[in-house]
Chain A
Amino acid sequence: MSRLDNWVDYWSDLTRAEQGVTGSIALFAAVLLVGLVTGGLNPTYFLFLVGLAGMYALMSLGLNSQWGFSGLINFSVAAFFGIGAYGAALMTSDSAPILGGFDPILGLVVALSLAAVMAVLIGVPTLRLRADYLAIASLGLAEVVRLLVLNERQWTNGSGGVRGIPRFFDGWPVLSTFPQAMPGLEIVIILGSPIELGTPFYQMLLNISLVAIFVGASYLVLRRAHRSPWGRVLRTIRSDEDLARALGKNTYSFKMQSFVLGSVIMALAGVFYAHLNLFVSPGDLNPITTFYVWVAVILGGSGSNRGALFGGIVVVTIREGTRFLNEFAWIPFDTAPLRLLMIGVLIVLVMKFRPQGILPPQRELIWPDAIEGSETEPERHTNQQPGGDTNE
């Protein structure tokens, strides 16, 4: 009874946007569950999609900590993703033209450091200038990185890509043999369409736990940073950099930190991708990734970590979900190629009807322990209507 009351309290304390998002996630999860149970959705493939969603969520979180926090316009999401992917691939792959054969952990460290160094290099000349200069420079960087990867064959193997990347947990005790050691299962819920859980499934499960760790860690770091005085300075810079400067904040340094942090998180997505796909090629650095991630952040609500997570998942759902639409015979045309159009329409609709995004920051961002110590409760922004009370 009391637990139910707690839930009711919790629910009515959510804002309308939060209730809506929670509801649609629940609905979507139910649809997926039906798909899994009836055998319409292969569990291994489903986990692969979850991995992709996690990867996009990471990139959105990274971009959100640049654009959403500080207002930095970064059009080289794909480049930092690529630096992460190639960094990890070249460090760990047996067949890499340079380096190769190192432990994936070392590959992770090197890839992230490389991304950080690259972020500093691009930040030093541009972050003192107006915001648009960073946008232009980053647009250039994205192409430069892609063309370097494509043409410097002696380092990157050019258009052939890098093969032979080990899985992240290869060489770990227990985990490296976990997929083989697990018994194959065949679950029959509906006759005629059994659900098979074999080695590939467990392999994918490991991948998912890796991306879950990456996303979870990034989210926790960003959440703490966002609510801190550090995040507050960034949000001030986004609204009015001169004000922050007049109050004694070294805005150049803050912008640099925000830019490097975001770039490192994007590279983290690349590292995961390298160990998921086990093959990277210059095609992975296509600029379209950058724009998918921008759509995810704007859709989710700039400045909101949860929004970025949500937006990343929505974009992957649309991108991958449209593949299934062709199975519905009553749709008289080929729908899969329309996914770009659908994403375009979606972003237009969001901008028209909810320009702040679906799940913008809902509450005051003050260090949580400090606000608990004060006599007043954390407040919602009053422009966010609570969903529970309708008697106003």
Chain B
Amino acid sequence: MSEIDTTADTQTAEQSTAEEATTEQSDEPEIVLEVQDLQKSFGGLVATDHATFEVERGTITGLIGPNGAGKSTIFNLISGFYESDGGSVIVNGTGVTNMEPYEVAEQGLIRTFQTPRKLEGMTVREAMLIGPRNQPGESFLTLFTNPDAVNEAESANLADAQRILEEFEIDHLATQPATDISGGQMKLVELARAMLAEPEILLLDEPVAGVNPTLRKTLAEQIRRLNDQGTTFLLIEHDMEFVMSLADPVVVLNQGSVLMEGTPDEIQTDDRVISAYLGGGT
């Protein structure tokens, strides 16, 4: 946790949440996300087969597995986009099984998508401003009954957006159309936007897929920085080098269930993992 002190001069809200995370750690559950016995099948295809794993606060947990192992399905089940056939999902001690995505997000679990989502007709900073949760201006009535509160929150959010864009070193894109930036930049914007939602745990679905090596390094640095500031990560990624350098622990998924969990070194030397990746099955 000493890393937090070295970045202490980088000001304001982000910092305070990080400090809160440090100081209040004793009151909050050590396990941010708990997946128990989760099941899902599509017709005859069992996509998630009694999967159980946990994500500890403050970690970057990797979720890997061969194609078709059910990684994206688990993400969709956790974040409420799919309804599970059985099992439970607990975020921060609160059961969120089969809740709507927005209700899961309210518990502090935010996710990104594999393919960057394009927001037509918006500039990058407009697209960023969707991030903050519970904005007073999102209530239609408040727009007319209390415009000052809307203005105050919007000014603060705009400043936050600008600051986070600067931290991600993409503030020069702020007024570019959100559809005109490169795929890698979109990934950065998506990560930056998710941070505006102040997540307790952030689920990243293939954050570096289709991203050039330079931006890939930047993304890894950013994820590490945000993790140091107190955000917990769960990420799916096919790029082994990326996962193994970033994540600890790593959860290996095969045919819908958890094959094993361990440090990157343990995973890389495990025979079961190797045979799963080579198509041997279990």
Binding site for B on A (CB under 8 A): 221, 224-225, 228-230, 232-233, 235-236, 238-240, 242-251, 257, 261, 303, 360-361, 364-367, 369-371, 373-374, 376, 379, 381-383
- What's the Cα separation between A367 and B144 when bound, in Å? 13
**Can you list 27 A-B pairs, Cβ within 8 angstroms, ordered by A?**
A221-B144, A224-B143, A225-B143, A232-B122, A232-B126, A236-B130, A239-B118, A242-B81, A242-B101, A243-B119, A245-B81, A246-B111, A246-B113, A247-B110, A247-B193, A248-B102, A249-B138, A364-B126, A366-B129, A366-B154, A369-B147, A369-B154, A370-B157, A373-B155, A374-B158, A374-B162, A376-B175
Measured between C-beta atoms, what is the minimum distance from B166 to chain A in Å?
A: 12
Measured between beta carbons, the chain B residues less than 8 angstroms from A365 are: 122, 126
> Is chain A's binding surface mostly helix, strand, loop or mixed?
helix
Measured between beta carbons, the chain A residues less than 8 angstroms from B180 are: 382-383
Measured between C-beta atoms, what is the minimum distance from A80 to chain B in Å?
A: 19
- The answer, among A229, A236, A249, for a CB contact under 8 Å with B137, is A229
- What's the Cα separation between A261 and B144 when bound, in Å? 14
Measured between beta carbons, the chain A residues less than 8 angstroms from B135 are: 229
- What's the Cα separation between A3 and B187 when bound, in Å? 47
Measured between C-beta atoms, what is the minimum distance from A123 to chain B in Å?
A: 15
Measured between beta carbons, the chain B residues less than 8 angstroms from A236 are: 119, 130
Asked if B183 is an interface residue, CB under 8 A from chain A, the answer is no
Interface size on B, residues (CB 8 A): 52
Measured between beta carbons, the chain B residues less than 8 angstroms from A248 are: 101-102, 105-106, 110, 133-134, 197
Closest B residue, CB atoms, query A373: B155
Which of A257, A367, A382: most chain B Cβ within 10 A? A367
Measured between C-beta atoms, what is the minimum distance from A359 to chain B in Å?
A: 13
- What's the Cα separation between A365 and B178 when bound, in Å? 13
- What's the Cα separation between A58 and B106 when bound, in Å? 37
Measured between beta carbons, the chain A residues less than 8 angstroms from B131 are: 247
Binding site for A on B (CB under 8 A): 79-81, 100-102, 105-106, 110-113, 117-123, 125-126, 129-131, 133-140, 143-144, 147, 150-151, 153-155, 157-159, 162, 174-177, 180, 193-194, 197
Measured between beta carbons, the chain A residues less than 8 angstroms from B155 are: 369-370, 373-374
Measured between C-beta atoms, what is the minimum distance from A82 to chain B in Å?
A: 25
Measured between C-beta atoms, what is the minimum distance from A251 to chain B in Å?
A: 7
- What's the Cα separation between A120 and B250 when bound, in Å? 47
Closest A residue, CB atoms, query B119: A239
- What's the Cα separation between A236 and B140 when bound, in Å? 16
Closest B residue, CB atoms, query A240: B117
Measured between beta carbons, the chain A residues less than 8 angstroms from B194 are: 247
Contact A225 B140 (CB under 8 A): yes
- What's the Cα separation between A382 and B173 when bound, in Å? 12
- What's the Cα separation between A381 and B159 when bound, in Å? 20
- What's the Cα separation between A369 and B153 when bound, in Å? 11
